[in-house]
Structure 1
Amino acid sequence: MAYRITIKEGNLLDAPASDFIVNPSNTILALGSGVSGAFAAACGPALQEEMNRKRDSSAPLSKGDVVLTGAGGCTAFRHVLHAAVMDYRPNAAETVPSLDDIRTILVNIELFLADEAAASSGPVTLTLPLMGTGVGGLDKRHVLEIYRGFFRREVDFDCEVFLYGHSEADCLLMQRVFGEERA
């Protein structure tokens, strides 16, 4: 099976119900600005509290790591996958992401998807924004090319990915890169 991609425009937190939603986060699991700030507003303080517990009970995160939590006060999603895009650890050599970090994040996300598909014996859904293209400064086209290569692979489970662009220009770029129409 291959992933099914649906391109959407707008606020990913307004997406249809989904098993997983990705929060492009940081190595200290702090909700801040951009997409992460939207998570803070939509999910309430319970999400940050759970993120703090995860951070305090695990080894320090590196860029590329992904941490699973509940969705706080947001009922549209079962789980939030916090992707460590930015490195905010003290003395971090490089705070901004690389394209390799995005590749690593996708591999780590896929582990959660495969586990969920195996446990439920059914299809899974993932809501995903462009990662690393805001504060991280990565080129959107380059990130989308990584997404395209990753999600065109065959996998052993059924998964629909809702790929969100914040603006019409983002969605037009997604359509050009993926060669598919927006839903």
Structure 2
Amino acid sequence: MSRLEAVRDDLTAQRVDAVVNAANSTLLGGGGVDGALHAAAGPALLEECRRLRRTTHPQGLAVGDAVATGAGGLPCRWVVHTVGPNRHRGQTDPALLASCVTRSLAVARGLGARSVAFPAVGAGAYGWPADEAAEVLVAAARADLAEHDAPDLVRFVLVSDRLLDAFTAALARSAGTSPPDA
């Protein structure tokens, strides 16, 4: 049985099979989660992303899609890159945000990953309110795990108490329990 959890921690330090990168469509690094993962992974990650751009993704990665690379110097085996919808650019369809989870989990399963760590895709520079992003991402993960027997662990790794509270509440609601201090 798969387990869903939320923790406040550093995504770059996760000892899981795969971490999910909230990438931009260029796949060539950026700010926030993307910048932190590229910095921690070292140049090998950027070189793999450049290879993807030269071969399978010359136009970049589409919103809601996912693709994997090696992890460079990170303590995981793979990085699964996904591009969240940018609310500031009018990309407000929750199905695109949910697709970031389902496509990332499908790619991770294809690699044989048994544990996957996600950031709060969309809830940073792309403008999704924390509570809404948490509801969409958690619901997508729970639905995907109900259909598939892998991965064994999906962990949402969050950088602030505000995000942790939003994801903890969404996890409790999706499991049919009351959130702590509710």
The 8 Å contact of residues 21 and 81 in structure 1, kept in 2 or not, is answered as: yes
Aligned counterpart in structure 1 of residue 34 of structure 2, from 33, 36, 55: 36
2:4 is paired with a residue whose SS is strand
- State whether structure 2 residue 148 is matched by structure 1 residue 156: yes
Normalized per residue, the structure richer in helix is 2
Aligned counterpart in structure 1 of residue 167 of structure 2, from 164, 174, 179: 174
Distance 2:141 2:100 in 1: 13
Distance 1:125 1:163 in 2: 11
Equivalences for 1:8-27 in 2 at 5 Å? 8-15=7-14, 17-27=15-25
Point out which structure has higher relative CO (alpha carbons under 8 A, 6+ apart): 1
**Sequence identity percentage:** 26
Match of 1:62 in 2: 62
Match of 1:104 in 2: 99
Normalized per residue, the structure richer in strand is 1
RMSD: 2.1
Single out whichever of 4-13 and 144-153 deviates more from structure 2: 144-153
Aligned residue pair count? 167
Match of 2:176 in 1: none
- Where does structure 1 lack aligned partners over 5 or more consecutive residues? 88-93, 118-122
TM, length-normalised to structure 1: 0.82
Equivalences for 1:130-145 in 2 at 5 Å? 130-145=120-135
1:81 is paired with a residue whose SS is strand
Match of 1:91 in 2: none
Shift of 1:165: 1.3
Shift of 1:98: 4.3
| Moved segments of 4+, more than 6 Å | none
- Where does structure 2 lack aligned partners over 5 or more consecutive residues? 173-178
Shift of 1:8: 0.8
